[in-house]
Amino acid sequence: MFKILKYIKPYALQCVLAPLFKLLEASFELFVPLVIISMVDNGIAVNNKTHIIYMGLLLVSLAAIGLAMSITAQYFSAKAASGYAGILRAKIFDDIEHKSYKEIDSIGVTTMITRITSDVNQVQTGVNLFLRLLLRSPFVVFGAVIMAFTVNVKEALIFVVAIPLLFIIVFMILLGSIPLYKKVQSKLEDVLTLFRENLLGVRVIRAFTMEEEETEKTEKEIDSLSAISLFVGRISSLLNPITFVVINLATYIILVNGSFLVDEGAITQGEIMALVNYMSQILVELVKFANLVITVTKSVACGDRIEAMLSEGSIEDGSEELESIESIEFKNVSFAYEGEGENALFSINLSLKKGESIGIIGGTGSGKSTVASLLCGFYPASSGEILVNGRNIKEYSKESLNKRISISPQFSVLFKGTVKDNLKWGKEDATDDEMWKALDMASATEFIKGKDGQLNAEVKEGGSNFSGGQKQRLSIARCLIKNSDLYVLDDSTSALDNITLKEVNKNLKALGEDKILVVISQRASQIMDMDTIIVLEDGHMESMGTHEELMRSSEVYKEIYRTQFSNEE
């Protein structure tokens, strides 16, 4: 938690001013009982209306000044807390953007969403209350005790007994509830994970009529969260009644003992009222302080989780700038995903040069998409080397590497906006002519021209207003509009019909001799015209060669080809 506090430095002045104005407000509040003493003893007791009015105006003035101090303190604390939360969110988002796929897989998407939303909100609330109450509450409690001694030493001894007892009660309850609050936060994350899965998979749930089962599962998780929340809530709810009992007993003792002292003339009625007022102030501040400790404890727990995520590391970035990609070579490359015992790839050796087109084919789970991720530098090789222009890929900066590579991923992702906005992800300064050319190459021109607004046609969240094939073609167009040296199409034509696929393949072959084209597919028809075809099976390179060579030497390739073409016939 302490490591992420450095991001509050831009608001250091507000962090000083907020508690300072709160202390000023508390100081004025501590003078109120003294004014009451004067009003009762020198005004009401002797029927001095002028003095009563004067003291009344003084009370109003103290209240107005205290209100001004409180509003000012709230302004500074809110500004510091919200500003800090904004910086923290930006830092978390930037950190996520620079994490490797390996780290993202390890942390989990739901966890990252929780950190940047719920956890940051909790930290913001904690900082806000911390700045306002950390100094104020102890200051009022101990200030009230000291002021009580200035009023009457004998009666003030009741405070000496009551205050430690109250602190013991408060901290006993807090010690019991703090660990439970951490469990609540953890359980809340489990519920959010379940919600996210259900929202993303709502179509699958409905397709398999699993609504009732998922509802029951969700209700079970929510009931579990509610049970632990209610339990910790019951423990925390003991705080107010127990402290009220102690305060009321202390107040009762002050009144009973004070009545005898008033009869003896050792204390005035105004002083009794002042002592009762101080006791009430202590009660209010202790309840505030208890709530502060609970909130800050939650905030620290959330801050620790944010800090842990930020300390996970980020992509190892090289220092060399990559001007162009002349060749890429895999030397005995093996790879295993985080947490997986078995490798996804085993001793892969391949070489790609400018002007070449490479097709990669294999069954589901053979490692095709893993090869694509390694080509793009998304993951580091577990063993072996990936060489770009004869140098290890790790030596190049990720930014310069990304500029030279363009990928159309296996799962097409479109962003909310317009067609033009999505194409500009490939090239920010792309002209309309360049966009139409890219759409032509992806065989997407026809359906885009049929949309209202054409290039300015709306794209809903996730591209939900486009079919699967249309989304894939837009993704390919976004890939092709970027002037890159390496184009990687990772099974991004699976939803296309054969006629459209042939058009796309023809256009891809015309990319140029200064480009490297890597097409990953499960369909032999898409890669059979490539210069070189690599056949993967269970993470191993089963064979490599042209279509004709593989038809003679590779049983796996022949089986894929025969199965697919017999089905088409």
Give the position of tokens 């796996």.
556
pLDDT for the residue numbered 173: 77
Residue 305 confidence (pLDDT) above 50: yes
Mean pLDDT of all residues in the chain? 85
**Strand, coil or helix: what is 348?**
strand
Residue 306 confidence (pLDDT) above 80: yes
Residues forming a β-bridge with 19? none
Q: To the nearest 5 percent, what fractions of the chain are helix, strand and coil?
A: 65, 10, 20
Cα–Cα distance between 41 and 36 in angstroms, integer? 8
* Whether 521 contacts 527, CB under 8 Å: yes
Residues of the chain with pLDDT > 90, as a percent, come to 9
Task: List domains and CATH numbers for the chain.
Answer: 4-310 (1.20.1560.10), 327-568 (3.40.50.300)
Cα–Cα distance between 98 and 94 in angstroms, integer? 6
Cα–Cα distance between 345 and 371 in angstroms, integer? 8
Confidence of residue 411 (pLDDT cuts 50, 70, 90): confident
Cα–Cα distance between 292 and 275 in angstroms, integer? 25
Confidence of residue 69 (pLDDT cuts 50, 70, 90): very high
**Strand, coil or helix: what is 357?**
strand
* Whether 526 contacts 561, CB under 8 Å: no
Cα–Cα distance between 561 and 338 in angstroms, integer? 34
pLDDT for the residue numbered 57: 92
Strands (E), 139-287: none
| pLDDT tens digits, one per residue of 137-150 | 888 888 888 888 88
pTM of the model: 0.72
Give the position of tokens 């021109």.
445
Please give the average per-residue pLDDT across 223-234, as a whole number: 86
**Strand, coil or helix: what is 362?**
strand
Give the position of tokens 């009222």.
273
pLDDT for the residue numbered 566: 65
Taking CA atoms, 310 is separated from 122, 299, 307, 313, in Å, by 17, 16, 5, 7
What one-character-per-residue DSSP string does 42-56 give? IIITTT-HHHHHHHH
Strongest mean pLDDT among 157-171, 211-225, 237-251: 211-225
| pLDDT tens digits, one per residue of 9-18 | 999 999 999 9
pLDDT for the residue numbered 124: 92
Residue 204 confidence (pLDDT) above 80: yes
Confidence of residue 569 (pLDDT cuts 50, 70, 90): very low
- Please give the angle made by the CA atoms of 437, 441 and 443, to the nearest 5 degrees: 110
Residue 519 confidence (pLDDT) above 70: yes
pLDDT for the residue numbered 239: 76
Who has greater pLDDT, 487 or 339?
Answer: 487
Please give the average per-residue pLDDT across 168-184, as a whole number: 78
Confidence of residue 115 (pLDDT cuts 50, 70, 90): confident
Residue from 5, 9, 25, 121 nearest 70 by CA: 25
For 134-143, 241-250, 312-321, 409-418, which range has the lowest pLDDT when averaged over its residues?
312-321
- Please give the angle made by the CA atoms of 202, 423 and 102, to the nearest 5 degrees: 60
| pLDDT tens digits, one per residue of 309-350 | 887 665 566 778 888 888 888 999 998 887 676 888 898 888
φ, ψ dihedrals at 325, nearest 5°: -105, 115
Confidence of residue 254 (pLDDT cuts 50, 70, 90): confident
Residue 47 confidence (pLDDT) above 60: yes
Cα–Cα distance between 387 and 377 in angstroms, integer? 11
pLDDT for the residue numbered 312: 65
Give the position of tokens 């985080």.
338
